[in-house]
Homo-oligomer: A and B are copies of this chain.
């Protein structure tokens, strides 16, 4: 029996591990969750007692296999909910995150199953984030790079965007930068600003480095298995 809060910590640690690799620092977790560092230290201690994380004092923390499984379960709930709200309840791309955060801890396995079925067992959510499979094996998101690492002239397909900031999502949606869209990098300013030509209508759009860093892209074409359609 894990509390909602513990699930949130595990999800946070998982996400931070994906972004920066383990070990994850106390203050990064605190920052991510909006808690103070002592609070995190105390919570991490409890997670360690339960065998959900490995920890080295003053160093950092890393999920155990068991902890990762819990994180993936929560993430599966979260992303299925995002997909369901978008597809069946007419939510827009940028509205779903908070609702999914609130609900993810409270749905039953039965609910999870029925939502997944209603959606046709999807593999990505509306932001392009992979939905962990029902058996909770870690999804593989290799083959993607950050838009901020690309070069002028690159032709790319948007694969994932961060779902954390609704305002940013609103902006990207407006700009047409959505999972599945093809873009071309037309300019990179010295301070990291990336300019891209978007999709078919040839619009140009400049994105600050902070945003470009959160956008994952893949090479275009080479007939791949799944295709993502924008909201």
Smallest distance from the beta carbon of A80 to chain B beta carbons, Å? 12
A188 on the interface (CB 8 Å rule)? Answer: no
A114 B102 Cβ-Cβ under 8 A: no
Q: Which residues of B contact A91 (CB under 8 A)?
A: 114
Binds B, one of A104-112, A142-150, A170-178: A104-112
- A97-129, CB < 8 A from B: 98-99, 102-103, 106-108, 110-111, 114-115, 118
Interface SS majority for chain A: helix
Smallest distance from the beta carbon of A117 to chain B beta carbons, Å? 8
If the complex has contacts A89-B115, A115-B89, A118-B89, are A99 and B110 also in contact, measured as CB distance less than 8 A? yes
A88 to B84, CA, bound (A): 12
Instruction: List residues of chain A with CB under 8 Å of any chain B CB.
Output: 85, 88-91, 95, 98-99, 102-103, 106-108, 110-111, 114-115, 118
